[in-house]
């Protein structure tokens, strides 16, 4: 499985990245996907650091999340994450296989508030360890 993670900076600049154990190569999604931390000190989440994620949707194909990704770029900003479920340790079974889209941050209340402020509803919230970074 190959996924492209892209950090969205304050000026919405993008930088490609991915999971190190991904053997298939790039090219599955035609629209950039995004991930970044809520912290203004870092442009992306640190590996092996526990964070909270409020997942809005899960899809087997990342292309199915393209429209939602575009809609959430501005309201979620650097909290937006679109990534393979394999990039997170601690997701519930509801995540299944595929890709998640949601908000990441340091506190449960923070990520849930960001999702609501973006006009969405969280399907679930979980404390996770992020395994993939840029």
Q: Where do the structural domains in the chain lie, given as residue ranges?
A: 5-130
DSSP per-residue codes, 24-38: S-S-S-SS---B--S
Decide: helix, strand or coil at residue 131.
Answer: coil
d(CA 122, CA 106): 16
Q: What is the pLDDT of residues 44-69, one digit of tens each?
A: 445 567 899 999 999 999 999 999 99
Report the pLDDT value the prediction gives residue 48, as an integer from 0 to 100: 61
Q: Is the pLDDT of residue 7 over 60?
A: no
> How many residues are present in the chain?
134
Q: How many beta carbons lie within 10 A of that of residue 125, not counting itself?
A: 18
Q: Would the pLDDT of 77 be above 60?
A: yes
- 110 pLDDT above the threshold of 50: yes
Q: Which of the pair, 109 or 9, is modelled with greater confidence?
A: 109
pTM of the full predicted structure? 0.68
């Amino acid at each position: 499985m190959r996924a492209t993670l892209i950090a969205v900076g304050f000026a919405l600049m993008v930088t490609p990245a991915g999971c190190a154990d991904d053997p298939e190569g790039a090219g599955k999604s035609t629209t950039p996907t995004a991930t970044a931390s809520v912290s203004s000190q870092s442009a992306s989440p640190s590996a092996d650091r526990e964070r909270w994620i409020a997942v809005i949707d899960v899809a087997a194909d990342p292309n199915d999340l393209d429209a939602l990704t575009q809609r959430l770029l501005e309201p979620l900003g650097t909290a937006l994450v679109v990534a393979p479920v394999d990039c997170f340790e601690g997701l519930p079974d509801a995540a299944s296989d595929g890709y998640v889209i949601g908000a990441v941050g340091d506190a449960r209340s923070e990520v849930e508030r960001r999702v609501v402020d973006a006009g969405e509803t969280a399907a679930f919230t979980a404390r996770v360890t992020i395994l993939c970074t840029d």
